[in-house]
């Protein structure tokens, strides 16, 4: 099959896509793009869409509603972009569009031409009329490669992706030799985005060199890290870019079977990918004889059943084989002997999604982005105490400071920065002194964290680092598959020690015990889960030792977070007579009225939920939180009240 | 249920790789895996029931008890943890008198913790069936149960009204 024939086949598909795009443009009716990925839906995008439909039909206005994937701006959901060419305005992005705002927008903007400036986030194109979102740091400092089209196209409409140049990289690949493609990826320096950063090109050439035959390509979308949802967003927003990458990978490594391994907890992503595979097959972009060439590729979806360890490639393969997802000894590596004993290449979603643009623009173009050792971009889901949480794609080498303070707007509520947790349960917490660390595989690892799957949690001064370490150990301890003793029992003991420290029962030898046990777990575990599970403990010990010591020696939680070490009390000087707000909100009826008709908290009943602190009117501000709990003055419950409570109980 | 599963199984090829998809399909329809169901799967695939049980218990997705009519899930992902998700979980547990992973005696409610539902910007998050409840507070949990109670009473009133109406017609 020569290049001309493949091109001829592809050009007809491409023409059809362009014809459809042109047709939409010529119709010149307003288009309403509504972000309908999981985070949008969680914020009420379905009601917004319904409100738009109702208002449009009520007013008899013609407009097209296009559900699109995620733009990555979770703080502003539900997001809506309205392209109303007749109004003379560029396409405008609106934030927090509730059902009410949707009705206002239809009436004011679509009917009367007033774009309702107070709801506007920014214009999607530069113009003199409305400031463009491109000039906001949240947009301008980003560099989107993997997420380039996310949020701009309907994930269910393959033609929209093709109209933007989609699948042309695959057409080009099919006309070249697999060895050329592997060489291209090797020269691009692309490293696996799953966390470890193994060079993709080398992995491919190892699989190619294997003589067993019947190779399999797997896309790893088993994103189990709590707090990371990058892969899910890509699957939901632009599945075709991933499938194109997967087909390129399969062609290069000589695979005829490909599997997308998605977590079953991501129902929307599973459905979107399945539909995308179907529509790509219809256009002969996947399936038997792609674009008329002899290259067959059978793509299927496997739903992972929720085991964090299955993100590890050998465990993932075991789980597809219908077994417990326990990691296996390597070697043999999956590229030699993987799924059903055949050479298997496992690549992450972001790795595969990077491929189409590398093929189109070349290896040296890709190498020019990012740093010398880690070319390309990194996608993070930045959450926690930042003003603008969401998905961010930046060039490798950008500093943590730029990402947190410039792109994501810094810490809200006038609080100060304490730490950033990178890489989820396998990563570490970095303090302020590390903010200038460039984000790339090697620098992060040197600092004690790791790239991981892209979860980044920013913490302000109110977060307790011992508690955060305990949280992650609680997670890894549950997710340990149980194969290696150090991981199975060691993480359990780490958790027990951290538990007692946060409960105020820490012993003075605990710090040292944590450190040695952590090293032992690292050395005694087979897979990445056990090798990295102690990282949250080790980094917090290294950078926040004072917090551990305060917990152990003074029984005090400096961040007032650990509930056993804190107490609430009501400052009688400030409490107003007769005010009952705190009484009403207390879920356990721990608040009583003192003889002076002020309020007190029964420390025995208090569950320390903090409701009263929030509820107390600001002009009184009488509820105080202290650590250690002994600092709270004892306010006796008047005996008559005690009786009446007893009577109720 | 046994008959239904027996009718489902022939659609799956007798291949070890189909074990997890079969278990998923059964849970999808019956919302949990019973001992009998797992034995049937074992027989279909020609493997031991212990093997099926071993695989099923390995993965978080599978349940072995029927869930409540209303499923409450409290997110305890990193962002929700930092924002106090545990306090929300405790409130649900206290209110219903059950622990994480359990179902109330009347099978109305079950409470479970989940790890990250992926709307970290709304932390802390809880799910009531499929509705996402963002920025939860203990007082919102209280409010939710007041709502349930009002709804229950309304339904009861309607039922009484309907029945008395039927009696009047008779």
Strands A80-83 and A92-94: antiparallel
Q: Following DSSP, what letter does each residue of B64-86 receive, concatenated?
A: SSPPPSEEEEEE-SHHHHHTTHH
Neighbouring residues of A92: CB distance < 8 A, sequence distance ≥ 6: A81, A82, A84, A115, A120, A122, A123, A124, A130
Examine the domain organization and report whether B7 and B53 are in the same domain.
Answer: yes
pLDDT value of residue A640: 63
Neighbouring residues of B165: CB distance < 8 A, sequence distance ≥ 6: none
**Other Cβ atoms closer than 10 A to A166:** 25
**Domain total of chain B:** 2
CATH of the domain at A186: 3.40.50.11540
Looking at the partner chain, which of B20, B87, B116 has a beta carbon nearest the beta carbon of A609?
A: B87
The predicted model scores a pTM of: 0.91
Q: If you average pLDDT over residues A381-385, what whole number do you get?
A: 89
pLDDT value of residue A626: 94
Which one of A329, A346, A367 terminates a domain?
A367
| Nearest residue in chain B measured CA to CA from A422 | B78
Tell me how far CA of residue B160 lies from CA of A217, B154, B166, in angstroms.
61, 10, 10
Q: If you average pLDDT over residues A81-99, what whole number do you get?
A: 92
User: A38 at the B interface (CB within 8 A)?
Assistant: yes
- Closest to A374 in 3D by CA, of A391, A350, A392: A350
Q: Compute the distance between CA of residue A472 and CA of residue A453 in angstroms, rounded to an integer.
A: 15
Position B164 in a domain: no
Mean pLDDT of chain A: 91
**CB A231 within 8 Å of CB A352:** no
Q: If you average pLDDT over residues A143-157, what whole number do you get?
A: 93
CATH of the domain at A407: 3.10.20.600
Examine the domain organization and report whether A383 and A357 are in the same domain.
Answer: no
| Nearest residue in chain B measured CA to CA from A41 | B132
% of chain A with per-residue pLDDT over 70 = 98
CATH of the domain at A19: 3.40.30.10
- Closest to A198 in 3D by CA, of A478, A206, B74, A13: A206
CATH of the domain at B110: 3.40.30.10
Looking at the partner chain, which of A307, A424, A457 has a beta carbon nearest the beta carbon of B58?
A: A307
| Nearest residue in chain B measured CA to CA from A339 | B17
Residue B125 with chain A: CB contacts under 8 Å: 42
Residue A222 with chain B: CB contacts under 8 Å: none
Examine the domain organization and report whether B51 and B88 are in the same domain.
Answer: no
Residue B131 with chain A: CB contacts under 8 Å: none
Q: If you average pLDDT over residues A300-323, what whole number do you get?
A: 93
Task: Enter the ipTM.
Answer: 0.88
- Does the pLDDT of residue A25 top 60, yes or no? yes
Examine the domain organization and report whether A572 and A637 are in the same domain.
Answer: yes
Interface size A-B, in CB pairs within 8 Å, comes to 138
Interface test with A, best of B21, B121, B129, B139 (most A CBs within 10 A): B121
Is B119 close to A38, i.e. CB distance below 8 A?
A: yes
Q: If you average pLDDT over residues A609-619, what whole number do you get?
A: 90
Examine the domain organization and report whether B51 and B104 are in the same domain.
Answer: no
Examine the domain organization and report whether B37 and B92 are in the same domain.
Answer: no
Tell me how far CA of residue A353 lies from CA of A238, A307, A610, in angstroms.
9, 24, 44
Position B159 in a domain: no
- Does the pLDDT of residue A446 top 60, yes or no? yes
Per-residue confidence band for A73, with pLDDT thresholds at 50, 70 and 90: confident
Position B101 in a domain: yes
Can you read off the two tokens belonging to residue B86? 């545990």
Distance from CA of A323 to the nearest CA of B (A): 6
Using a 10 angstrom Cβ sphere, with 0-12 exposed, 13-18 middle and 19 or more buried, the burial of residue B110 is buried
- Does the pLDDT of residue A483 top 80, yes or no? yes
Domain carrying residue B77:
70-139
Examine the domain organization and report whether B51 and B102 are in the same domain.
Answer: no
- φ and ψ at B156, to 5 degrees? -65, -45
Looking at the partner chain, which of A227, A266, A340 has a beta carbon nearest the beta carbon of B120?
A: A227
Position A305 in a domain: yes
Q: If you average pLDDT over residues A371-395, what whole number do you get?
A: 92
**Start-to-end C-alpha separation, chain A:** 84
Q: Compute the distance between CA of residue A144 and CA of residue A150 in angstroms, rounded to an integer.
A: 9
**Domain total of chain A:** 5
Looking at the partner chain, which of B18, B81, B134 has a beta carbon nearest the beta carbon of A42?
A: B134
Distance of CA B93 to the CA centre of its chain: 15
Position A160 in a domain: no
Examine the domain organization and report whether A196 and A342 are in the same domain.
Answer: yes
Looking at the partner chain, which of B55, B76, B94 has a beta carbon nearest the beta carbon of A324?
A: B55
Position A8 in a domain: no
Per-residue confidence band for A646, with pLDDT thresholds at 50, 70 and 90: very low
**Start-to-end C-alpha separation, chain B:** 37
Examine the domain organization and report whether A454 and A469 are in the same domain.
Answer: no
- Does the pLDDT of residue B116 top 80, yes or no? no
Distance from CA of B24 to the nearest CA of A (A): 8
Position A1 in a domain: no
Examine the domain organization and report whether A53 and A182 are in the same domain.
Answer: no
Examine the domain organization and report whether B39 and B81 are in the same domain.
Answer: no
Examine the domain organization and report whether B39 and B84 are in the same domain.
Answer: no
Position B170 in a domain: no
Is A306 close to B138, i.e. CB distance below 8 A?
A: no
Examine the domain organization and report whether B40 and B12 are in the same domain.
Answer: yes
Is A615 close to B117, i.e. CB distance below 8 A?
A: no
Least confident span in A156-170, A258-272, A527-541, B113-127: B113-127
- Does the pLDDT of residue A210 top 50, yes or no? yes
Q: Compute the distance between CA of residue A550 and CA of residue A201 in angstroms, rounded to an integer.
A: 49
- Does the pLDDT of residue A463 top 50, yes or no? yes
User: A75 at the B interface (CB within 8 A)?
Assistant: yes
- Does the pLDDT of residue A649 top 60, yes or no? no
Q: Compute the distance between CA of residue A120 and CA of residue B63 in angstroms, rounded to an integer.
A: 45
Per-residue confidence band for A87, with pLDDT thresholds at 50, 70 and 90: confident
Specify which of A128-132, A542-546, A579-583 reaches the highest per-range mean pLDDT. Answer: A542-546
Examine the domain organization and report whether B29 and B89 are in the same domain.
Answer: no
Position B152 in a domain: no
Examine the domain organization and report whether A514 and A580 are in the same domain.
Answer: no
Residue B120 with chain A: CB contacts under 8 Å: 74, 227, 229, 381, 383-384, 389
User: B150 at the A interface (CB within 8 A)?
Assistant: no
- Does the pLDDT of residue A647 top 60, yes or no? no
Which one of A419, A440, A460 terminates a domain?
A460
Which one of A421, A440, A460 terminates a domain?
A460
pLDDT value of residue A648: 40
- φ and ψ at A618, to 5 degrees? -60, -30
Examine the domain organization and report whether B75 and B26 are in the same domain.
Answer: no
Domain carrying residue A271:
166-367
Examine the domain organization and report whether A294 and A360 are in the same domain.
Answer: yes
Range A48-55 contact pairs with CB under 8 angstroms and sequence separation of 24 or more:
A48/A78, A48/A80, A48/A97, A48/A98, A48/A99, A48/A101, A48/A102, A50/A99, A51/A99, A51/A100, A51/A102, A51/A103, A52/A80, A52/A102, A52/A105, A52/A106, A54/A103, A55/A102, A55/A103, A55/A106, A55/A107
Strands A215-221 and A92-94: unpaired
Per-residue confidence band for B167, with pLDDT thresholds at 50, 70 and 90: confident
CATH of the domain at A495: 1.20.1440.230
% of chain B with per-residue pLDDT over 90 = 46
Position B145 in a domain: no
Residues B78-91 have pLDDT tens digits of 888 888 899 999 99
Q: Compute the distance between CA of residue A518 and CA of residue A534 in angstroms, rounded to an integer.
A: 5
Position B91 in a domain: yes
Examine the domain organization and report whether A324 and A244 are in the same domain.
Answer: yes
Position A154 in a domain: no
Position B9 in a domain: yes
Examine the domain organization and report whether B48 and B75 are in the same domain.
Answer: no
Q: If you average pLDDT over residues A512-517, what whole number do you get?
A: 96
User: A206 at the B interface (CB within 8 A)?
Assistant: no
Which one of B17, B35, B58 terminates a domain?
B58
**Greater pLDDT, A453 or A351:** A351
Q: If you average pLDDT over residues A171-195, what whole number do you get?
A: 93
Tell me how far CA of residue A335 lies from CA of A199, A213, A350, A355, in angstroms.
13, 11, 19, 19
% of chain A with per-residue pLDDT over 90 = 73
- Does the pLDDT of residue A1 top 70, yes or no? no
Can you read off the two tokens belonging to residue B152? 């229950």
Q: Compute the distance between CA of residue A402 and CA of residue A390 in angstroms, rounded to an integer.
A: 15
Examine the domain organization and report whether B108 and B78 are in the same domain.
Answer: yes
CATH of the domain at B6: 1.10.10
pLDDT value of residue A546: 95
pLDDT value of residue A645: 47
Q: If you average pLDDT over residues A475-486, what whole number do you get?
A: 93
Position A152 in a domain: no
């Amino acid at each position: 099959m020569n290049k001309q024939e493949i091109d001829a086949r592809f050009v007809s598909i491409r023409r059809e896509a362009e014809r459809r795009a042109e047709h939409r443009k010529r119709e010149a009716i307003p288009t309403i793009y509504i972000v309908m990925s999981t985070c949008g839906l969680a914020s009420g995008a379905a009601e917004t869409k319904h409100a738009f439909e109702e208002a449009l039909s009520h007013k008899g206005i013609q407009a097209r509603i296009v559900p699109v994937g995620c733009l990555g701006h979770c703080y502003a959901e539900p997001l809506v972009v309205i392209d109303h060419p007749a109004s003379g305005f560029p396409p405008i992005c609106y934030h927090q569009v509730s059902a009410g705002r949707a009705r206002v927008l239809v009436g004011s903007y679509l009917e009367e031409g007033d774009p309702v400036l107070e709801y506007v986030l920014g214009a999607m194109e530069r113009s003199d009329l409305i400031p463009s979102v491109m000039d906001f740091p949240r947009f301008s400092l980003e560099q989107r490669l993997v997420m380039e089209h996310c949020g701009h196209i309907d994930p269910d409409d393959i033609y929209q992706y093709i109209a933007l140049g989609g699948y042309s990289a695959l057409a080009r690949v099919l006309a070249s030799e697999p060895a050329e493609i592997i060489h291209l990826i090797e020269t691009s320096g692309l490293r696996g985005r799953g966390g470890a950063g193994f060079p993709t090109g080398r992995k491919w050439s190892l699989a190619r060199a294997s003589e067993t035959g019947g190779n399999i390509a797997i896309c790893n979308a088993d994103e189990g890290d709590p707090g990371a949802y990058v892969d899910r967003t890509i699957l939901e927003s632009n599945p075709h870019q991933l499938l194109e990458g997967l087909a390129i990978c399969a062609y290069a490594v000589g695979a005829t079977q490909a599997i997308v391994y998605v977590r079953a907890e991501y129902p929307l992503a599973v459905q979107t990918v399945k539909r995308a595979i179907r529509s790509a097959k219809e256009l002969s972009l996947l399936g038997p004889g792609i674009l008329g060439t002899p290259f067959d590729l059978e793509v299927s979806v496997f739903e992972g059943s929720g085991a964090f360890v299955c993100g590890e490639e050998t465990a993932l393969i075991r789980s597809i084989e219908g077994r417990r997802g326990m990691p296996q000894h390597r070697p043999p590596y999956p590229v030699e002997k993987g799924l059903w004993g055949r050479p298997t290449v496992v690549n992450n979603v972001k790795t595969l999604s990077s491929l189409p643009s590398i093929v189109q623009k070349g290896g040296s173009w890709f190498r020019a982005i990012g740093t010398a050792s880690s070319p390309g971009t990194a996608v993070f889901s930045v959450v926690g105490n930042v003003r603008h949480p969401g998905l961010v794609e930046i060039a490798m080498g950008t500093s943590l400071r730029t990402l947190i303070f410039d792109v994501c707007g810094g810490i809200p509520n006038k609080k100060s920065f304490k730490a950033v947790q990178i890489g989820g349960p396998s990563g570490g917490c970095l303090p302020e002194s590390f903010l200038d660390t460039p984000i790339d595989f090697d620098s992060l690892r040197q600092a004690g964290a790791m790239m991981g799957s892209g979860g980044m949690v920013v913490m302000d001064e109110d977060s307790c680092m011992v508690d955060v370490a305990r949280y992650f150990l609680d997670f890894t301890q549950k997710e340990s598959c149980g194969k290696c003793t150090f991981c199975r029992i060691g993480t359990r003991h780490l958790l027990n020690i951290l538990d007692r420290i946060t409960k105020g029962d820490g012993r003075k030898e605990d710090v040292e015990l944590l450190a040695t046990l952590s090293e032992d777990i690292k050395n005694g575990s087979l897979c990445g889960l056990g090798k990295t599970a102690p990282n949250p403990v080790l980094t917090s010990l290294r950078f926040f030792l004072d917090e551990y010591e305060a917990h152990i020696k003074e029984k005090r939680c400096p961040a007032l977070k650990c509930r056993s070490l804190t107490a609430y009390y009501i400052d009688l000087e400030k409490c107003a007579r007769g005010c009952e707000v705190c009484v009403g909100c207390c879920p356990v009826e721990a608040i009583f009225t003192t003889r002076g008709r002020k309020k007190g908290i029964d420390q025995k009943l208090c569950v320390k939920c903090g409701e009263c602190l929030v509820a107390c009117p600001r002009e009184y501000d009488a509820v105080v939180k202290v650590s250690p709990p002994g600092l709270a003055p004892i306010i006796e419950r008047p005996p008559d009240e005690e009786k009446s409570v007893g009577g109720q109980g | 249920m046994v008959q239904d599963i027996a009718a489902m199984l022939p659609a799956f090829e007798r291949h070890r790789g189909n074990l997890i998809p079969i278990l998923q399909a059964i849970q999808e329809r019956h919302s949990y895996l019973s001992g009998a169901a797992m034995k049937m799967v074992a027989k279909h695939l020609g493997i031991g029931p212990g093997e099926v049980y071993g695989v099923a218990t390995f993965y978080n997705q599978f349940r072995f008890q029927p869930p409540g009519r209303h499923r409450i899930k409290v997110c305890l992902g990193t962002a929700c943890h930092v924002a106090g998700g545990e306090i929300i979980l405790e409130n649900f547990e206290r209110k219903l008198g059950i622990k994480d992973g359990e179902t109330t005696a009347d099978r109305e409610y079950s409470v479970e913790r989940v790890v990250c539902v992926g709307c970290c910007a709304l932390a802390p998050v809880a799910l009531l069936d499929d509705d996402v409840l963002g920025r939860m507070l203990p007082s919102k949990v209280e409010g939710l149960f007041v709502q349930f109670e009002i709804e229950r009473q309304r339904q009861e009133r309607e039922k009484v009204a309907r029945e008395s109406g039927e009696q009047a017609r008779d």
